[in-house]
């Protein structure tokens, strides 16, 4: 069996892993290994912003839940990036940090001292290279390029005008003093290129002699001796076993599914789960795999009367024109992230936005399904702070198996109520000029579905339509007591030399997209690791 020696082994080459590996290699003499189960990020669909749906189909795998009673027995399917850069290589490139109060709540409600907004903001600013904004909330000298969307689509512009007509204030910065409003997103795409964590953080450091990157390596378990993590057992690209010794630390950045799975395979997790699969219990940790949460959406979908959307843009003469524009002039549709605009709205009157809307000049299908085969638009309401919780376990002791996944994703009635209000407001936006003049028949929820208060038909329709927004989190949440999966420095409780630094440590989901917060968490973890070296 082949054996390798490093000082620090990072398991998972997603957004978090790329940030931590780059920081540690650049700012220390530690020998750093970044281990990724997926491919290098060489697929051209990754780098072209507008082809992210193709990248998602080819460079991701999906975890399907058990039948979910809150979805009338339907399975909840969550695709996850399986490629260097992880989610940042396959996502829609929306740059949103969440609300200030999200992080203050981590501190005051969940006991995560040191994680309030004033403490995390400097890290966001340090990472950011914003091409437009430079103020108290933004940086311009970091690695991560953040820009306004290119080639704004006229249908998206019409939806924005309609949203303002429906009473939503206009916003030019969802990451500034307030998140409330409707406007163009800022995105991690610039100059016709996706600005992934792999591109912005990892790639500039790849020439360093103390940094090694291995792709297509599946981590099987963490080697734990005397309650200390000392390495990782893995299978290489040929399926052969390899032992990787970590002389200083193992860092898990494999995401909200793979990180808790790997901990449980290694004997760290709920006793009942481990014993069921014959895994020796090295540290009983009931919180590992619990607290699963995700943003959930139900997109209101309307036909366009005229061929004004993006249907057919990837075929025939249209595709040829877009290809010439992109490859010759670096302009046009292919430079766009497509999901260019949206809104954050307080629909409950609680004083902070609770629904995020994505505005799309096309109609994406459900996860794993192609876009709808006609010109259409979607106004997609999503829960921002879901209350429903699920859990992960093990399907078997085989590291190649997907985890056992129970969602109950709409089990809390407040989440269903949030989506009801979002659907109602989306329909109201559709009724405003200039959008209403462009729209034809409603595809979902449909003319037969009433959005009136107390309508059972709307609840039934939402349960059939509800889908992931690709933001799973919380399955190794941090906390101030030994009962938490990890402590406030992201060290796994009960096991030394082992840390978790991805979105699984979030005690509660942020109100918005998770890629930016995940990179912030990783950068703060790098600070803590460097301080311990």
Q: What is the CATH number of the domain that holds 393?
A: 3.50.50.60
From 450, 465, 480, give the residue that closes a domain.
Answer: 465
Write the DSSP symbol of residue 206.
T
Same domain membership, residue 305 and residue 290: no
Same domain membership, residue 164 and residue 270: no
Tens-digit pLDDT string for the chain (533 aa): 799 999 999 999 999 999 999 999 999 999 999 999 999 999 999 999 999 989 998 999 999 999 999 999 999 999 999 999 999 999 999 999 999 999 999 999 999 999 999 999 999 999 999 999 999 999 999 999 999 999 999 999 999 999 999 999 999 999 999 999 999 999 999 999 999 999 999 999 999 999 999 999 999 999 999 999 999 999 999 999 999 999 999 999 999 999 999 999 999 999 999 999 999 999 999 999 999 999 999 999 999 999 999 999 989 999 999 999 999 999 999 999 999 999 999 999 999 999 999 999 999 877 667 788 899 999 999 999 999 999 999 999 999 999 999 999 999 999 999 999 999 999 999 999 999 999 999 999 998 898 877 777 999 999 999 999 999 999 999 999 999 999 999 999 999 999 999 999 999 999 999 999 999 999 999 999 999 98
How many Cα atoms are found within 13 Å in the side-chain-facing hemisphere of 410? 30
From 465, 484, 500, give the residue that closes a domain.
Answer: 465
State both tokens at 74. 């339907």
Cis link prior to 33 (omega < 30° from 0)? no
Q: How many domains does the chain have?
A: 2
Q: What is the 3-state secondary structure of 122-175?
A: HHHHHHEEECCCCCCCCCECCCEEEECCCCCCHHHHHHHHHHHHCCCCECCCCC
Same domain membership, residue 191 and residue 180: no
Task: Please classify residue 428 by burial: count the beta carbons closer than 10 Å to its beta carbon, then call 0-12 exposed, 13-18 middle and 19+ buried.
Answer: middle
**Catalytic positions:** 471
Same domain membership, residue 70 and residue 141: yes
Same domain membership, residue 173 and residue 120: no
Sequence-separated contacts (24+) of 345-350 with Cβ below 8 Å: 345/168, 345/180, 345/182, 345/425, 346/180, 347/418, 347/421, 347/422, 347/425, 348/418, 348/421
Same domain membership, residue 107 and residue 69: yes
Same domain membership, residue 360 and residue 397: no
Same domain membership, residue 176 and residue 191: no
From 419, 450, 465, give the residue that closes a domain.
Answer: 465
Other CB atoms within a 10 A radius of the CB of residue 392 amount to 31
Nearest-5° Cα angle at 270, 485 to 14 = 50
Q: What is the CATH number of the domain that holds 446?
A: 3.30.410.40
d(CA 253, CA 352): 31
Same domain membership, residue 495 and residue 439: no
Full residue range of the structural domain in which residue 346 is found: 150-184+296-383+411-465
């Amino acid at each position: 069996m082949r054996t390798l020696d490093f000082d620090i082994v990072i398991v998972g080459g997603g957004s978090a892993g790329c940030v931590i590996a780059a920081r540690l290699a650049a700012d220390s003499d530690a020998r750093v290994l970044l281990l990724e189960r997926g491919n290098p990020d060489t697929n051209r669909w990754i780098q072209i912003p507008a082809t992210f749906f193709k990248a998602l189909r080819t460079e991701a795998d999906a975890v399907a839940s058990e039948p979910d009673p809150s979805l009338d027995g339907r399975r909840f399917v969550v695709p996850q990036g399986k490629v260097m850069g992880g989610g940042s290589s396959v996502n829609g490139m929306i740059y949103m940090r969440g609300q200030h109060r999200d992080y203050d709540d981590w501190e005051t409600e969940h006991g995560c001292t040191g994680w309030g907004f004033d403490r995390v903001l400097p890290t966001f600013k340090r990472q950011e290279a914003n091409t437009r904004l430079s103020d108290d909330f933004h940086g311009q000298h970091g690695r991560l390029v953040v820009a306004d969307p290119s080639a704004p689509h006229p249908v998206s512009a019409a939806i924005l005008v309609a949203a303002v007509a429906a009473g939503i204030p206009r916003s030019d910065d969802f990451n500034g003093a307030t998140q409330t409003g409707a406007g163009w997103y800022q995105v991690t795409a610039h100059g016709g290129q996706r600005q992934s964590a792999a591109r912005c953080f990892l790639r500039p450091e790849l020439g360093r002699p103390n940094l090694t990157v291995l792709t297509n390596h599946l981590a099987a378990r963490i080697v734990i001796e005397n309650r200390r993590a000392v390495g990782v057992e893995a299978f290489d690209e040929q399926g052969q076993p390899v032992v990787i010794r970590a002389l200083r630390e193992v860092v898990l950045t494999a995401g909200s599914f793979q990180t808790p799975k790997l901990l449980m395979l290694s004997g760290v997790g709920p006793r009942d789960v481990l014993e069921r699969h014959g895994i020796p219990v090295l540290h009983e940790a009931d919180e590992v795999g619990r607290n699963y949460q995700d943003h959930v959406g139900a997109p209101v979908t309307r036909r366009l009367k005229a061929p004004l959307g993006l249907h057919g843009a990837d075929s025939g003469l249209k595709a040829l024109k877009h290809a010439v524009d992109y490859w010759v002039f670096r302009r046009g549709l292919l430079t766009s992230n497509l999901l260019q605009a949206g809104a954050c709205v307080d629909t409950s009157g609680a004083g902070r936005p609770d629904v995020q809307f994505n505005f799309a000049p096309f109609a994406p299908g459900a996860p794993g399904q192609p876009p709808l085969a006609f010109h259409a638009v979607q106004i997609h309401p999503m829960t921002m702070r879901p209350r429903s919780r699920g859990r992960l376990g093990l399907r078997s002791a085989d590291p190649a198996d997907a985890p056992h996944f129970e969602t109950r994703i709409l089990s809390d009635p407040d989440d269903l109520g949030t989506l009801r209000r979002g659907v109602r407001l989306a329909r109201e936006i559709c009724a405003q000029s200039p959008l209403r003049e462009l729209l034809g028949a409603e595809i979902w929820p449909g003319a037969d579905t009433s959005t009136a208060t107390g309508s059972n038909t709307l609840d039934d329709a939402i349960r059939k339509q509800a889908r992931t927004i690709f933001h799973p989190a919380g399955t190794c949440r941090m906390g101030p007591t030994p009962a938490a999966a990890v402590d406030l420095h992201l060290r796994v409780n009960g096991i030394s030399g082992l840390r978790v630094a991805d979105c699984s440590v979030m005690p509660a989901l942020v109100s918005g997209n998770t890629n930016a917060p995940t990179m912030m968490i990783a950068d703060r973890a790098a600070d803590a690791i460097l301080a311990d070296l």
